[in-house]
Amino acid sequence: MSLKAKIMVVEDNIDEAKLIKMTLEPEGYEVITALNGKEAKEKVAKEKPEFFILDVMMPEMDGFAFCSWIRSNKEFKETPIVLLTGVGEHIYESKYPLKGVMEADADEYLEKPLKPEVLLETISRLLKT
């Protein structure tokens, strides 16, 4: 099976990152992982991902900050970005308000726990495959 796309998963929870990887790889996606935005920044130029899945709450550099940084990079300006968070209904009480998604210019916002079929459908729709 040929690879569909190279996806970078930036997630500080190792178990969550593994679950996402286990969902995507059997579908033909190549998955690169990073534990935070700072580590992801170091890998982006070499790996050249075609899609980003970013956790919102991470140490070093959160998902909003990384999303804004990637959008400022002309090589990745049009690359699809999905933000994930486990804050869900409590997001308005946290330091991660939903308006941050718009400010960060993400393409989609998904809540954890992530349903594999929703993630796959979202990726397919955003990649137009």
Closest CA to 68 of 110, 36, 100, 108: 100
CA distance 82 to 107: 6
List, in order, residues 6 or more apart from 71 with CB less than 8 Å away.
77, 81, 104, 105
Q: Coil, strand or helix: which one is 107?
A: coil
Give pLDDT tens digits along the chain (129 positions).
457 899 999 999 999 999 999 999 999 999 999 999 999 999 999 999 999 999 988 888 989 899 999 999 999 999 999 999 876 544 445 555 555 544 568 899 898 889 999 999 999 999 987
Q: How high is the pLDDT of residue 109?
A: 87
pTM: 0.88
Q: Mind listing the domains of the chain with CATH numbers?
A: 6-127 (3.40.50.2300)
CA distance 11 to 94: 18
**Residue 92 DSSP class:** G
Cis peptide before 26 (omega within 30 of 0): no
Name the residue with tokens 């700072």.
Answer: 38
